[in-house]
Amino acid sequence: MINVTQMVLVFLYTSVFSSSLNGKAGSDMNERPRVVILGGGIGGIKAAQKLANQPVDVLIIDHNNYQVFQPLLYQVATSMLSTDEVVYPIRGFFKKANNVDFLLAEVRGIQPNEKIVKTSHGDVPYDYLIIALGSTPNFFGNEEVERNAFPLKTLQDAIRIRSHLLSVFEEASAETDPEKRKALLTFVFVGAGPIGVEGAGGVSELVYDVLQKEFHHIDFDEVSIHLIGADACVLGMMSEELRAETLKVLQKKRIDVQCSMLVTGYDGENLFYRPMNAPKDAPCATLKTKTVVWSAGVRPVDCLSSFACEKDRGKRLLIDDTIRVPGTQDIFAIGDCSSYTPPGEQRPLPTLAPVALAEGELAAKNILHDVRGEEMEHLHYKSKGVMAIIGNSEAVMEAGPLRGRGFLAWAAWLWIHLLTKAGFHANISVTFKWIFNYLSGTRLGRLITRPELQGLPESIKNAPEAKDAGAEKQAS
């Protein structure tokens, strides 16, 4: 016979055990899929915004705690804008999204079989992965150029170029050797795409509209600005009419343009280049210069080199029209690190902001479709057109049959970039600076924060910051 005490003990044991099981089951049932986004660029942030307040947990991983609006970096480099006007804190995007979190870390690799991302803070598991790591400058294996040229890809690059440009003028104003002074006042942009065109135009305006009024002991006839590109023309993605207009404006800004040229070396003092069709042993032309800005191409970041998947000739990750990496069910890739060629097209979609935004949005939608057991959507991207600013009230734009140039194209460029850029308060500041610069030609950001040339007074010298090797590998 079971007494009352035994019955009570059995009841309590059964209740506790059952409660424990139900609690575990409830925990498993309430556990939501985890989406990890590598990179806080515009594509990665767009994907996270679409997943905000949805039934998933999102973790963004980036080695910076801010998003950089790269189209305006050249304006930091040429003293038009300040650094806080081209960046936005990543956490600031998600004040009202409790399901989105951020991890400040360096991405070191991906292990798809284990569904783990290797980071500087340890392993991070995922259920779905969005790779939005962007790209890094491509020096095509030329280590000498990589050591000595200035890339223009990150916020640190823009600050370094700004300080360097201002520093060489300070040094040139005190230099008595004509040959050394000429080298200091020679500026070269390599790459005839939008970054090279916009950068060269920005430097021309900084030099001739601002610095020429302030450096009274420099003969500005000694200044020379060069744009050297491997393509047969500037802005090769545009129509012949707009390319010709761009060339005319660049020449009006006293920029020497040389296309179909291959840069073979730069030792920090001499830039060597030759025609693209010339034999390898042909003699090279030489430019003595202290300033070479490299904008001749990009490639995927180093941490993706060990990721086993199909890649194109440029080592970008191939994706299908659902934005997934073929051979996987849970990995998506967007933006500059991915490559998708639409049916019937010869070339993949360009590495432009509108493409990254469209891919980021679709990746997020398809993850939600997969979570709900729904059919995935397919990418049908329509080009928004291309545009480039050449200088104050000078730009070119093309969208299908529509073409624009001059002031209207310039105003459209400014307006579209304000709409795309994050940060209301910064946008107000940027708008006022653009108006102020247009009316007066003054650039208020002429600050030497990292002078790196020899010969400067000790009172303003700063030791160059050591490059973080890990951070250089992951550029988002």
pLDDT score, position 203: 97
pLDDT score, position 449: 84
DSSP secondary structure of 205-243: HIIIIIIHHH-TT--GGG-EEEEE-SSSSSSTTS-HHHH
* Digit-coded pLDDT (tens) for 401-428: 888 999 999 898 888 888 888 878 888 8
Q: Is 139 helix (H, G, I), strand (E, B) or coil?
A: coil
Task: Judge whether 304 and 325 are in contact, CB under 8 Å.
Answer: no
pLDDT score, position 337: 95
Cα gap 413→133, rounded to integer Å: 26
pLDDT score, position 460: 41
Cα gap 43→408, rounded to integer Å: 28
pLDDT score, position 437: 83
Cα gap 275→160, rounded to integer Å: 30
Task: Judge whether 179 and 162 are in contact, CB under 8 Å.
Answer: no
Q: Is 18 helix (H, G, I), strand (E, B) or coil?
A: helix
In one-letter notation, the amino acid at residue 95 is K
Sign of CA dihedral 273, 278, 280, 281: negative
* Closest to 366 measured CA to CA, from 321, 335, 309: 321
Q: Which residue has the tokens 């804008």?
A: 81
Joined together, the tokens standing for residue 207 give: 């030099």
Task: Judge whether 308 and 324 are in contact, CB under 8 Å.
Answer: no
* CA-based end-to-end distance of the chain: 74
DSSP secondary structure of 146-179: HHHSEE-SSHHHHHHHHHHHHHHHHHHHH---HH
Give the chain's residues under pLDDT 70: 1-30, 450-476
pLDDT score, position 438: 84
Cα gap 205→74, rounded to integer Å: 12
